[in-house]
Structure 1
Amino acid sequence: MAKLIIVDDEKSTREGLVQYIPWNSLGIDEVESAGSGPEALAAAARMRPDILLSDIRMPGMNGIEFATRLRLVLPDCKIIFLSGYADKEYLKSAIRLRAVHYLEKPINRPELIRAVRETVDALALERITAAESDAIIREKLALDLIREHTDPAGLAQQIKYAFGEPQPGGRYVASILRIDIQTDGAADIDRHGIDRNYREPIRRAIDEAFGSPLYRHIVGFIDNRHVVIHFCGIGITSRSLPPAALGRLKAMIEAAIGAEVDLFMGVGGSTDRISEVRASYEHAESALQRRFFTGPNQVAIYEEPAADTPPYPLDDSRLLPFISSLHAFDTDQALRHLVRLHDEIRLRPDLPVGRVRTFFYGMLLELDAFAAKHSVPLAEPNELAYARDAFFRLPDLAAIRSELLRRIEAALSRVQAKNNNGQHVYAIMQYIREHYHEDGLSINRMAEHLYLTPTYLCRIFKEKTGKTINRHITEVRIEKAKEYLKDGRVKLSDVSSRVGYQSANHFTKLFKKMTGLNPSEFKERQ
């Protein structure tokens, strides 16, 4: 919306324009009028209009003189002149003053409305362009300040533009914001970076969350996951940022882009020298590493490592108790050892993240070797892609702990099932796990694959497990169906075919019989 002032010495003209032009529908939300140049200058100083609608011939100070003086105060004000005279000198003056329209009296109402609408549109476009230009200047400065070979002296004008004149006691703090955008039902590794369409709403959310009269800030997008935010203010320190700001920012971003996000902010040290902002940024990078240890939606402030901190060796000797518990088939002890290692390492954010990942991947390799020794595959065929790269993409220590807990329990339970039930029963269970999604899964096909008779298969399975093979197939399929129903990415209508049932009605009846709920009721309760 825009503000407009009408200047005309004829009272009837002024009042008629104020009353009979639909200003609000034209994008004008504030209209004032004045009967002379001096009166208009006083009103303009108070309201600071975006558009001037002025008569040219007025007693005392005419419209050209008034507009010339207004230009000194409001150089960007749009001028529309009204005149009953097509005088060349007036036209030349209007051109010099960059008037956007020159309308002759008597006023043609549709012509005036069109002129005002065009002027409001031009004003809106200029504002958008100015805002974009301002954001570009500030973002370029934010990124220039963290580059290795940037000369801060060469950025003096941009720094003054962004932060104002240097003030006694003024200090700078660099921070890095990590943004992970989640998709519905996505696993820990399925996190998206910042789409370019999201950048402007995220920038606005940052401006609102961290807006303060105590300091200024500028924002720059480093890549599709990280944003640098520089703060400048008198006496500002790394602990000056409001603790609740990150929570507000999370809510604002989620509302703006319509998706859940995880945030983490690393904050560097405070400095009074623009030349040391890069060092503050490097400290923020170190603080950002703590996300791996503590998890998302927190603020980490850089601290110098304590000189007396004892070393924490990440070597194979720490895995020996875990390996021993595997070979003793002691699931509880293996899980306790993993949890203990996790809890110890979580308290050591000084450890290099890459080494920690490699250490826990070594635990996964030991688990693989144990499973292979007992001829039990650690992963199902559709999970084989979840290998080294996927493991190293897990976002934090808690996710690694959860993944290893799941795999340890699965490996030991399968080995124990094989030992308890015998080779043939285990082979039947394994075949069902691999082929549950096939409509043609049958006892005859299983028997053919295992080189055994169907009768023997049914008898030995019933003797060892106390249930029929068909019952076990149904149980596996229903459990897999539950997993799909919990996953927001799988449509309800697709679940039955994914677990081997071509008839959705038959699947629904079985699901309700096994769980007491139909599939849609189960999904709603998740």
Structure 2
Amino acid sequence: MLKLIIADDERMIRESISNIIDWNSLGIELIGSCGDGIEAYNMILDESPDIVLTDIRMPGISGLELVERISQTDMDIQFILLSGFGEFEYAKQAMKYRVHHYLLKPSNEEQIIESIRDVIKEYYHRRAFKDLQNRQKALTFHLHHSVLANIINEGIFMDDSAQPAWDVYSGFMDFCYTSYELCYLHYLEEPLLVSALGLIYEYMSKSAPGIAVYSLYVKNTLILFFESHQVSYEDLDTFMYRLSIEQQPVQLNYHRSTYPNLIQLIEAMTSKIKRYGMIYFMNGLKPVPICNYKNLIEKIEQLTTILMNTDIENRESGYEELENTLHDISNPDFLKQAGSRIIIKLTAGNRYGSSVEATEYLMTLNQQTDPAIIRNMLMEKISKTMADSTETSYSPFIEKVIQYVENNLDNPSLTLKWIAENYLYMNVDYVSARFMKETRQKFSNYLTTQRIQKAKQLLLEGSTEQIQCVAEKVGCGNNPQYFSQIFKKHTGMSPSAYIKQINGGD
């Protein structure tokens, strides 16, 4: 139930509102009533209500001042303002703080209940949207973490004269135009790593919420890097200089540098850590080892290139050799790292699939712990990817249909009949029969599949748009309910459940 506080300096009004309405039937728990603004402010801090119904003019702190003070905190509270004054200026000030519910005294039971119901509806809508945003942020972090793990692997295992294939990864995150901070914390002993990292994560979540922090650990050194977000890092530097871990035998040594982009940061960082045999890329507080199996990585890279760029006969021999190579790897973490590299390279640029499919697959792969299961999953995925990559030749007018669908997915009125008659100037029955023969599916099924794939891509990219906006972009018009229905029918889950699953259930 949602928690409600009533604040009004007139006792009769407080008691009338408290007693005249059946709050339980509305899903509301009335947790208190206050006679002035100061009492209401203190109760809000103590009880963290979801809704506050308050008079505008009260002694101590007015209702508007109460709203202003709470707006400066991280509390997400819905306000309903109650006043005997009808001047527009009050409503104008209230709207400045995103208060949209404003009732004039005397208000009857129906008016108050209507406002409460509107607030409840808005509350759950905002909470659902916030949950979706958080899941999308977490999904983006997991995807970026996987991409960075591959790049760091490349930087470690490559010769000094070689460069990672930045263009392969550019579709997943920005490497060129965003500046980053790189921090080193020396002399941190491994048993104290989790404690130190926990304190740093806690500090960053408060001082820089929403900024993803990536971390590595190698030879008693904790390395952190994150997107630049401040003009001054004096507070961060002070925190790091003063960081003290119980049982740490020596003083920690801290250093921070700014890099104009992620490419330069990674190149500088990997040049320093590549000489070590064991490097840990932290996944939260869990250290994930990057084993310096240079020869194996080079061989896997070569075989992946063979799968991508050679004829069918050589692909088959390359596939067999890759299977034998993976069979010799018993470390599950290294197997998953190798598999992630292969899948990302095969799907880069949508050549052998899409980033949506790659992310769905990698999330499932990363949950496995048995090396045999990981190997089987990898080889099945690679085999299917290779089979799907075989180029299919369509008739020129069928290619035009496919291209037209791709360019007009947001059109809710898109039909094969319209395309045939108004774009191709051909008989719709003939086009339909040829489309079915060449693509081996009906046009309606193809159209729905493309719309669902586009929707997945929008959700995967961490878009903060509402479901309604996604629905419009994939041709479901102003009807998010219809979009959710076809999405669930096609995938077996709602859009929000899909995001949750891709996010590992978080």
Measured against the shorter chain, the TM-score band is 0.3 to 0.5
The normalised TM-score by structure 1 is 0.35
The normalised TM-score by structure 2 is 0.36
